[in-house]
A and B are shown apart, each in its own frame.
Chain A
Amino acid sequence: MARARTGVRALGAVLAAVLVASLAGCSSTGGKRAEDARKAQAAAGKAAVSTPRWTFSMVTHSGDGDTFWDIVQRGAEEAAAKDNINFLYSKSDEGQQQAQLVQTAIDKKVDGLIVTLAKPDAMKDVVKKAVAAGIPVITVNSGSEESKAFGALTHIGQNETVAGEAVGDELNQRDRKKAVCVLHEQGNVGHEQRCAGVKKTFDGEVENLYVEGTNMPDVQASIEAKLQTDRSIDAVVTLGAPFADTAVKAKRSAGSKAEVVTFDLNAKVAAAVKDGTLGFAVDQQPYLQGYEAVDLLWLYRYNADVLGGGLPVLTGPQIITQADAGALEDYTKRGTR
């Protein structure tokens, strides 16, 4: 008993000390305060329209804690705030689970549905069901081939093969001879398409390297080993922003001269492209995918407008080189690029 009480006291003392230290040792740069100031500068999210408060649901194939999907969600939420929409988000990286989540949206009788078709066959029946129930559906990010057949209004995203081809072209311009394409998610069709696209346009050789994306040290070790065993590799293509930084680390410890380029963007990638650590980045503007999906659903409900004329609305590829990176740095910091 007595020992327990001293334990509590000690804990209290530690907490008090931490509190005092955090109040006294203020940083005059960066941190939460700078972020709050930035937020205050940004316009407060108030509805700009007087349409009824519709409910839109978005169901993606994202795993847990994915930066890319965070940005998509952010775009969707900001459009929802403007359009007076009650926005719901759910996700699962298992096809069966994702289909069940779409079913829950149908059960809730939402006014609009946004889905990703990374696993089109798992989503086929349930998306058709939603369309049959009179819910307007927009597909985003993946599934441009299937979107129309399933009865969706529009598909918003990047054609992964086209994006891969853009990377191949850019590598040609930089006189690269041998590239390795790092796939961090085995079983992702979009990733395979990206690497296939690179292979298609790149004049040199392309090798695929599969790594365990959920395990960063493993990713680094795998890339390192690859670069050590094959000295002729002069380009590393990563398929996600968080992996670019890891690839750069691997390149340094392997003592390789390869140029690292990446798909997608985050604050670190923007900074690295700006200072030349990374060759270039290919962005598919995830913010736009979320924002446009909500906004187009709103337009459809408000005015029966459909964008794209039956073809996918492309948000990428946008090649970002050293010249463009500076302008994007602030946007990546606030989490919208």
Chain B
Amino acid sequence: MTAGAPPAGTGQAPAADERLLHTSFLRKLLGRPELGSVVGAAAVFLFFALVADSFLQASSFSTVLYASSTIGIMAVPVALLMIGGEFDLSAGVLVTSSALVSSMVSYQMTANVWVGVLVSLLVTLAIGVFNGVLLTRTELPSFIITLGTFLMLTGLNLGFTKLISGTVSTKSTADMEGFSSAKALFASEFTLGEVTVKVTILWWIGLVALATWILLRTRFGNWIYAVGGGADAARAVGVPVARTKILLYTGVAFAAWISGQHLLFSFDVVQSGEGVGNELIYIIAAVIGGCLITGGYGSAIGSAVGAFIFGMTSKGIVYAEWNPDWFKFFLGAMLLLATLLNAWVRKRAEATTR
């Protein structure tokens, strides 16, 4: 039984504890947060398969998967955070910050690039902890806190890069020691038959698996659902609310570090002004995947499906040879439709369990 799914009481005589009752497979399926998004993903896939000839090629599929993975890696911890009832608007620029720190530390210290990678990990996690601590200490809404972090980071990215490198992008670290091994970990690719698989896809699958295990099989996962469902109630039954939220923000920072290193090692150089606006895309992926904006409900697999829908749409429009001006319109429409579908499926699921 998952937390987040409604309690399944069947109409039988209340012989045993309701939580131990047997529920049918179909009912379990209907109670899953990501069901609506899976239906949506199938619909989007079919749609683009019909309107775009080149959408079904193996090479196109690897492009779509790669696009999805770059969103998906971030959508996983953002979904967890949203299940925990909070937002992170600084996630988009945090990715850029992470890449910038890594690149500039390595370059300026003329150190092995792994030094930069590790320093970047520490700095990025520290920013995540900063978000979490500020939130739990001040009890301001996370929207405000992370909006502040978002703006500060945007400025720091531009300011520091200009100050240290003298230009708007970092200097190339491609010829430095350790670059090739770091590239292998964060930005390599290999071929599986006809499909080029980027390593980010593996990171993505790994993160989804890890997050799903945390949510469904660990005490911490229950805490996430509990603090999202109602922080006061959770505190009353002994859930460490502050620690849980700080850890969730740290999780977002960890994923931002992975994404940032991927940016750096796939392009050698980081543009300081990028990343703005992506935080909303991560949130959209999580919401399409069945996360409630109010917290307490959602799943990691859903966020992956949401990211996949996003990847299919953003690239499908290109394969279909449409004018890219319409992309944002489709994204908005998709968001509304997916959310409506999710709400409808959830209502049905709740109705059948009574």
Q: Which residues of A contact B (CB under 8 A)?
A: 64-65, 88-91, 94-97, 99-101, 103-109, 119, 121-122, 124-125, 185-189, 192
Contact = CB atoms under 8 A, between A and B. Distances in A.
Given A107-B60, A108-B54, A108-B319, A187 B328 contact: no
Contacts of A107: 54, 57, 59-60, 63, 319
A318 to B, nearest CB: 26
B323 interface: yes
A121 B167 contact: no
A101 B271 contact: no
Interface in B262-280: 263, 266-269, 271-275, 278
Nearest to B55: A107
A109 B63 CA distance: 14
Interface string B19-58: 0000000000000000000000000000000000010010
B319 A122 contact: no
A286 to B, nearest CB: 18
Interface of B: 54, 57, 59-60, 63, 66-67, 70, 158, 167-169, 172, 263, 266-269, 271-275, 278, 314-315, 318-319, 321, 323-325, 328
B71 to A, nearest CB: 10
B274 A89 contact: no
A187 B319 contact: no
B152 to A, nearest CB: 15
A299 B351 CA distance: 66
A63 to B, nearest CB: 10
Given A100-B315, A107-B54, A107-B57, A187 B168 contact: yes
Given A121-B172, A192-B168, A89 B323 contact: yes
B182 to A, nearest CB: 16
A185 B273 contact: yes
Nearest to B259: A96
Nearest to B189: A125
B66 A186 contact: no
A186 B158 contact: yes
Contacts of A99: 267
A88 B321 contact: yes
A192 B59 contact: no
A124 to B, nearest CB: 7
Contacts of B263: 96
The residue among A91, A97, A105, A109 with the most chain B CB atoms within 10 A of its own CB is: A97
A103 B59 CA distance: 9
Nearest to A183: B168
A91 B324 contact: yes
A185 B278 CA distance: 18
Nearest to A105: B318
Given A108-B54, A121-B269, A188 B168 contact: yes
Nearest to A188: B168
Given A96-B263, A107-B319, 9 more contacts: A89-B323, A95-B274, A96-B70, A119-B267, A121-B169, A122-B267, A187-B168, A187-B274, A189-B167
A52 to B, nearest CB: 18
